[in-house]
Amino acid sequence: MPKRDDRPIEVLLWGATGFTGRLAAEWLAAHYAGDRIALGGRSQEKLERLREELVAIDTRCAAWPIRIADAFDVPALDRIVPEARVVAAMAGPFSRVGHEVAAACARHGTDYCDITGEVPFARELIDRNHARAKTSGARLVPFCGFDSIPSDLGVYLLQSRVKCAQATFILVRSRGGMSGGTAASMIAIMEQAGSDPRVRAMLANPYALVDDSDHPKARDTSGARKIDDFWTAPFFMGPINSRVVLRSNALLGWSYGHDFRYEERMSLGPGARGFLRAQAFSAGIAASWRTLTLGPVRSVAKRFMPNAGEGPSQELRQKGSYEIRVDGNDSAGNRLGSCRIYGKGDPGYTGAAKMIIESAMCLSRDVEGEGGVLTPASCMGDALAKRLRAADISFDVT
């Protein structure tokens, strides 16, 4: 196995021809074309066509090598993964096609990051690979896209400034679309929940990714609630992002406190209209998580979702934007500080492409530490925040 510094590839972009994978490849071409980048996946033809398109951004991309393997072909993965310092994995649903790629990284001491939003996948990643990755030195960091970097880094940076007993993520505004990959991941999670009671219990447990049992019981955060002058409802990604934030707390030695509490909400406006919207949205979120575990409901939902490889147009992505606020409070609910996160471009795609590539570069160049299945905040913290700020994603703590 080559030493990490001697490996011929710095970042292997795995699943590069998918919708978000292509956006990540474009970010690499625009900012890292002269570095040791490789494109990976199962189709030589598609990868060569992508590389030709990237040459229009920077001619140096023509020298990028291509690595071919099926996501289930362990011998092939064992040949290509040791060549790379970091694998940035874009291909999902990760519960179906992500396990062997991550396991190969754990075996060969190759750092790994991905854009998953799948809690069951992350739980299995921990159970299968945490001990092995600690031995090999591989740092496996899932959730390095819009799920869940704003949540995880927002709380981390806020806690670095003020000690908070509780934190609330608020999606102030977001303008963006959904790709087929995101839709497929959502359906995959619901299919697992519909057939496996352990997955249903995991989705109901905020501490599903924490092995230490010494933590407070979860509290009910459903329903409409007024924060400042606007009404809020639960954010639909909260059941994913909260698990990551709470794992970071555990991995950081419970530096946020054993009794630290976290929730995610979204703003639906002020006044009576905002209240009615928050009430309706709260009921809809609760119903959707329950009903999507039912096969007939999923079949209907699939008809209205984009297919794999599809997503919002370039025009829509450019018009996208997002603003998030993470409020830190004391145990009595008094505001101690806030972290404001905002950026231009579709959050789940333009934003996610920046986040995954800068995470990969951060792992390669900026941080050291023990291996294991980690989180963005616990592994990369301030170094990743610095990179994202340079990529026009703001994290302002006040």
Sheet holding 393-397, edge to edge: 225-227, 230-234, 261-267, 166-175, 321-329, 335-344, 393-397
d(CA 104, CA 88): 13
H-type alpha helices, 67-147: 74-80, 94-97, 99-108, 119-136
Backbone φ and ψ for 42, nearest 5 degrees, come out as -105, -10
CA atoms within a 13 Å half-sphere pointing along the CA-CB vector of 385: 21
Specify the residue for token string 């603003």: 323
Write out the two tokens for 5: 């510094």
- Read off the DSSP letter of residue 216: P
Strand partners, 231: 226
d(CA 160, CA 386): 14
Give me the tens of pLDDT residue by residue for the chain, a chain 398 residues long.
Answer: 445 778 999 999 999 999 999 999 999 999 999 999 999 999 999 999 999 999 999 999 999 999 999 999 999 999 999 999 999 999 988 999 999 999 999 999 999 999 999 999 999 999 999 999 999 999 999 999 998 999 999 999 999 999 999 999 999 998 876 555 566 666 777 777 777 788 788 778 899 999 877 777 767 677 899 999 999 999 988 889 999 999 999 999 999 999 999 999 999 999 999 999 999 988 877 666 556 555 554 454 445 455 656 677 787 888 889 999 999 999 999 999 999 999 998 887 889 999 999 999 999 999 999 999 999 999 999 999 999 999 999 999 99
Write out the two tokens for 265: 């909400």
H-type alpha helices, 233-309: 238-251, 271-291, 295-303
Write the CB contacts of 65 (distance below 8 Å, at least 6 apart in sequence). Answer: 9, 38, 39
d(CA 318, CA 119): 29
φ/ψ bin of 379: left (φ > 0), alpha (ψ from -120 to 50), beta (otherwise): alpha
d(CA 90, CA 3): 25
- Read off the DSSP letter of residue 145: B
d(CA 311, CA 317): 9
Q: Could you report how far apart the first and last alpha carbons of the chain are, in Å?
A: 46
